[in-house]
Structure formats: C-alpha cells, structure tokens
Amino acid sequence: MRVLSSLSWSRYTSVGSCLQRKVDRQPPKTEGLNFSGYVPMDKVQVLYSRSSGPGGQNVNKVNTKVDLRFHVDTADWLSQELKEQITEKYKTSITVDGFLVLRSDKTRSQQLNLADAMDKLRHLIHTASYVPSSPSKEDEERHRRRHEASVRKVAPEESPFFNQARQTSTSVGLVI
C-alpha cells in the first residue's frame, strides 16, 4: 500500500474501505437569465447578530440572526442580464453601496437561519430571472371574447331591453 503524505491526502477521499481520487469540478455557470442555483459562499458576506423574539435563556447569549449581503454589480457568478434584472426588480432592497441584504431570524439555530437566508437569495434570483411566456393564439382569442362579454355587461344602455324598461318606469304618472 502506498503511504500518502498529509499534503497529497487532501486530493483523496475515503469511500467505504477504498480510496478514490477527488475530481475537481467547476461550479455550474449562469448563462443569460438561466440561474443554476449555485451561490458561492466566498462571494457572499454572512454576518451573525442577536435575534429578537423568544429564545429563553439563550436569547442574549447566542448570535442566531443571519444577515446575508452580496454586492450585485461585482457578483461574477451571475450573468450581466441577471444582475440588471435583480437591480431593476429589487432596487428598493439594494443599499446605497450596492449591496443586497437578506435577513433571517426564523429559527433559534444559526445554521438553519443561514440555510433559510440562502433559500431566500436563490428564490429572489429565480424570481428576477422569470420571464413570462407569450400567450398563445387561443389565449388571446379567449381574452378577447371575455373582454367583449364584459363590455356588454357593463354597458346595458346599448341593449333594447334597457330602453323599454326605462320608458315604462318613467311613463307612469297621475292623471287628474
């Protein structure tokens, strides 16, 4: 058996009783508005602070609230189109410095709050990347028919029955 030094040991992983060489994989790329779901942790700033709300004796001791921040313009893991969509859609949530800040204090666990903040970030990016599909011809025709029907309901004065009802109600009078 070959003896591995501590420097070369990091390239191997133990699976069961046999050693396998690790394969260096590149993170998936985000192309256009298609977000891969990959968020590099080294490009995101994570700050922990004390959470508000119930927590018992732990509330003043443990920093469980998570503030997740990333600079939208310098996020090289996002495409330029996606950065523009995020900036346009969430311009009220972006700070003056250009950071998008997400907070989570849902649970009393630091790791669960970090996972929740990461899910919020992924959901936010997926929401910004959503492009509604164009309606089909059937959908356009259905919309046109519904619109015509609603116009007919809204404007009953064009109906001949409306005029008859109006004439009969105003023609009643007293004869002396």
Q: The domain spanning residue 57 has which CATH number?
A: 3.30.160.20
- The reply to whether 54 falls in a domain is yes
C-alpha span between 125 and 34 (Å, rounded): 10
| pLDDT at residue 128 in the model | 85
Whole domain around residue 68: which residue ranges?
30-129
- The reply to whether 134 falls in a domain is no
- The reply to whether 22 falls in a domain is no
Q: What is the pTM of this model?
A: 0.60
| pLDDT at residue 117 in the model | 93
Check: CB of residue 102 under 8 Å from CB of residue 118.
no
C-alpha span between 158 and 156 (Å, rounded): 5
Q: What is the total count of domains within the chain?
A: 1
Check: CB of residue 118 under 8 Å from CB of residue 68.
yes
Check: CB of residue 17 under 8 Å from CB of residue 27.
no
| pLDDT at residue 28 in the model | 61
| pLDDT at residue 64 in the model | 86
Q: Is 101 helix (H, G, I), strand (E, B) or coil?
A: strand
| pLDDT at residue 13 in the model | 53
Q: Profile the chain (176 residues) by mean pLDDT over runs of 10 residues.
A: 48 53 60 71 87 72 88 86 89 90 88 92 86 85 88 62 54 57
- The reply to whether 147 falls in a domain is no
- The reply to whether 20 falls in a domain is no
| pLDDT at residue 4 in the model | 47
